[in-house]
Amino acid sequence: MMKQTYGVGLIGFGTAGRIFHAPLIQATPGLELLAVVSSSPEKVSETLPGVEVLPKVAALLARPDIDLVVLATPNETHFPLGKAVLAAGKHVVIDKPFTVSVPEARLLKAEAEKHERMVSVFHNRRWDTDFLTLQALLESGSLGRPVSLELRFDRYRPKVADRWREQQKPGSGIWYDLGTHLLDQVRTLFGMPRAILLDLAAERDGAEVDDVFLALLDYEGMRVTLQASSLVAEPSPQLTLHATGGSFVKHGRDPQENWLRAGHVPTPGWGVDERPGRLTRNEGEGSAVELVGREHPSVPGDYPAYYAGIVEALSGQVPPPVTVEEALEVMTLLEAGLDSYRQDRWIRLKDTNVNSRTLHGRSG
């Protein structure tokens, strides 16, 4: 018999667990957050009164009322914790990125198949307002064939924070953080590119790991540019699309993260972005044709859709909203990008041997 409500355990109560996962889980019909594993029980109890706080992962995994475990922990723990969760017979959602390496990701996929349990990765930026708007425009075909796309994820954080993401640890740095989001968005739209070229740098005073990147992805007939920086005080457009039938430009970051940080919970009207994009294309006929730019409304963002999809997947109705195969492709792009940076050249994705010939005459 299909369960009506699935018990959820959350491991980790830092930014990801507290801001994103806990409120979205609690807002999802069919899920009940029963316990949190955290070294800061006071913080959990203050935010989630009535939810049990456990000091150890083992205590959570031993509970028969926990069906799904969510990992909101440092990237280097995703593989060992994910493996332990699956061995305990639980389904698992892992905050992005999947793991810190492709071999680890493949091993977790094999463990999920072995134990017949679901693994999904929280690539929540697929449900950003700007991405959903871009996706709808491309699917409509109204702009013709895309030839150039630029996606940015900029912030202004001039001071290096005392946190694991900014320390010399496996999976730290902006490429594994924000790069993961942008790679998943592009892969969702266009599939895997033919090749990737990546440049990384550490620009802030005292930075230990990369805090800026520029990546180029090569598709047949199209070039995609991905950029992120920690030192952008006056942001550029969030996305810029040029196509044979016109252009689309959107400013402004999706509001859902800030709403969640402020303690708001998803309600009717959630995700609405009042800032339109700008769509520019030819209008009119014959001699009256002219290039016209108009405001284009934004599709509402929808982070709650992820966990709603998890409930459907647990019920056996559909695959999870982010499949393990999709997460593996993102891991492949992350590693190929690092190979490109280290070798100072394009890396081809469709070749079995990444040391094959380079693109556009650049070699390391």
Q: Could you report the per-residue pLDDT of 84-111, keeping only the tens digit for each?
A: 999 999 999 999 999 999 999 999 999 9
Q: Residue holding tokens 């699309």?
A: 241
Q: What is the pTM of this model?
A: 0.92
For the segment 117-145, the average pLDDT, to the nearest whole number, is: 97
Give the per-residue pLDDT at 309. Answer: 97
d(CA 233, CA 220): 34
H helix and E strand count, the chain = 11, 15
Give the per-residue pLDDT at 352. Answer: 34
Fold annotation for 125-254+267-302+335-343 = Dihydrodipicolinate Reductase; domain 2 (3.30.360)
Give the per-residue pLDDT at 44. Answer: 96
Percent of the chain with pLDDT over 70: 95
Fold annotation for 6-122+305-321 = Rossmann fold (3.40.50)
Give the per-residue pLDDT at 362. Answer: 31
Burial class (CB in 10 A: 0-12, 13-18, 19+), 312: middle
> How is the chain split into domains, by residue range?
6-122+305-321, 125-254+267-302+335-343
Sequence-ordered list of residues with C-beta below 8 angstroms from that of 241, at least 6 positions apart, any chain: 134, 137, 138, 143, 146, 148, 149, 150, 247, 248, 249
For the segment 108-134, the average pLDDT, to the nearest whole number, is: 98
Give the per-residue pLDDT at 268. Answer: 87
Q: Could you report the per-residue pLDDT of 185-236, keeping only the tens digit for each?
A: 999 999 999 999 999 999 999 999 999 999 999 999 999 999 999 999 998 9
Lowest mean pLDDT across 46-55, 264-273, 293-302, 344-353: 344-353
Give the per-residue pLDDT at 363. Answer: 31
Model confidence band, residue 289 (pLDDT cutoffs 50, 70, 90): confident
Model confidence band, residue 2 (pLDDT cutoffs 50, 70, 90): low
Give the per-residue pLDDT at 361. Answer: 29
Question: Is residue 287 pLDDT above 80, yes or no?
Answer: no
Q: Could you report the per-residue pLDDT of 30-45, keeping only the tens digit for each?
A: 999 999 999 999 999 9
- 86's enclosing H/E stretch is helix 78-87
Model confidence band, residue 284 (pLDDT cutoffs 50, 70, 90): confident
Model confidence band, residue 1 (pLDDT cutoffs 50, 70, 90): low
Q: Could you report the per-residue pLDDT of 46-64, keeping only the tens digit for each?
A: 999 999 999 999 999 999 9
Give the per-residue pLDDT at 364. Answer: 30
Q: Could you report the per-residue pLDDT of 134-171, keeping only the tens digit for each?
A: 999 999 999 999 999 999 999 999 999 999 899 999 99
The mean of the pLDDT values for the chain is 93
